[in-house]
Amino acid sequence: MERSNAEENAIILDYLKNGYAMSGNSSFSKAAVAQAIGTEHLTILELVPKKDVFLQPMQEVYIGEGKREEIHHTKGRIPYEKLSSTARSELEHAISKVVSKKEAQFIEFFNKAQPLSLRMHQLELLPGLGKKHMNMVLAARTEKPFESFEDLKNRVKLLPDPKSIIIKRIISEIQGKEKYRIFTKP
């Protein structure tokens, strides 16, 4: 993985103390594994925790190049289909945490989104945002840039909750359902 795409921190989605149930090994030789989502590029990762470390869902861990406290190494990216049921149920909460923490970055998308073609705009890629909402967002942002999700909701009436539509879009991208990726790395 090149440095610019590498994750520095991750949120644990599930901790499998005895590894994967279907791996075919006896339970004595199964290594612990954690499924997590990176907080920078929202990539789904498989992590190997250090010996005798117990991880909790929603726990933030450092996975960068420096000294790691809980994680021995990153095994690599994994597809959505490989996520455990616990990891899938925690995914939306973890993404919500990231979106809240990086609200300015996601608001910047609303402030800077551009047309993809003559007929399609980046804003229309968000679930529940059609031409009408898109035009309202474009008109409002010409007056002054949006400062927060609250500001966006107050200035663009009848707009679906911006935080929830971003979360839905990120989940859809992670599941591989989208042609264009706005918020995640392929």
Residue 122 banded pLDDT, cuts 50, 70, 90:
very high
Task: List, in sequence order, every residue forming a beta bridge with 30; answer none if it has no partner.
Answer: none
**Lowest mean per-residue pLDDT among 4-18, 25-39, 167-181:** 25-39
| Residue that is last in its domain, among 20, 52, 84 | 84
Q: How many Å apart are CA 84 and CA 118, to the nearest integer?
A: 41
Q: Is residue 97 part of a domain?
A: no
Q: Is there a single domain that holds both residue 78 and residue 13?
A: yes
The predicted structure's pLDDT at residue 144: 96
Residue 20 is predicted with a pLDDT of 81
pLDDT for 5 beyond 90: no
CA–CA distance, 96 with 15 (Å, rounded to integer)? 20
> Is 110 in contact with 152 (CB distance < 8 Å)?
yes
75 and 117 together in one domain: no
The pLDDT mean for the chain works out to: 91
User: What pLDDT is stored for residue 4 in this prediction?
Assistant: 58
Distances (CA, A) of 86 to 33, 114, 183: 13, 37, 23
Identify whether residues 34 and 68 lie together within a single domain: yes
Domains: count for the chain? 2
Domain-located, residue 183: no
Residues 165-179 pLDDT 10s: 999 999 999 999 998
CATH number at residue 131: 1.10.150.280
Q: Which of 52, 50, 49 is nearest to 35 (CA)?
A: 49
Same domain flag for 77 and 111: no
CATH number at residue 23: 2.40.50.140
The set of residues, in sequence order, having a beta carbon less than 8 Å from that of 92 and lying 6+ positions away, is 167, 171
40 & 12 share domain: yes
Pairing of strands 71-77, 60-62: unpaired
- Per the domain annotation, does 184 fall within a domain? no
CA distances from 50 to 6, 33, 47, 67 (A): 20, 10, 10, 12
* 12 vs 49: CA distance, rounded Å: 11
Give CA–CA dist 18/34, Å, rounded. Answer: 10
Region 80-91: what's the mean pLDDT?
96
Rounded to whole angstroms, the Cα distance separating 74 from 72 reads: 7
User: What's residue 2's pLDDT?
Assistant: 39
Q: How high is the pLDDT of residue 104? A: 96
* pLDDT at residue 22, rounded to an integer: 65
Question: What is the residue range of 47's domain?
Answer: 3-84
pLDDT of residue 6: 83
Q: How confident is the model at residue 66 (pLDDT cuts 50, 70, 90)?
A: confident
Q: Find the mean pLDDT for residues 12-25.
A: 80
Q: Which of 84, 109, 113, 104 is nearest to 13 (CA)?
A: 84
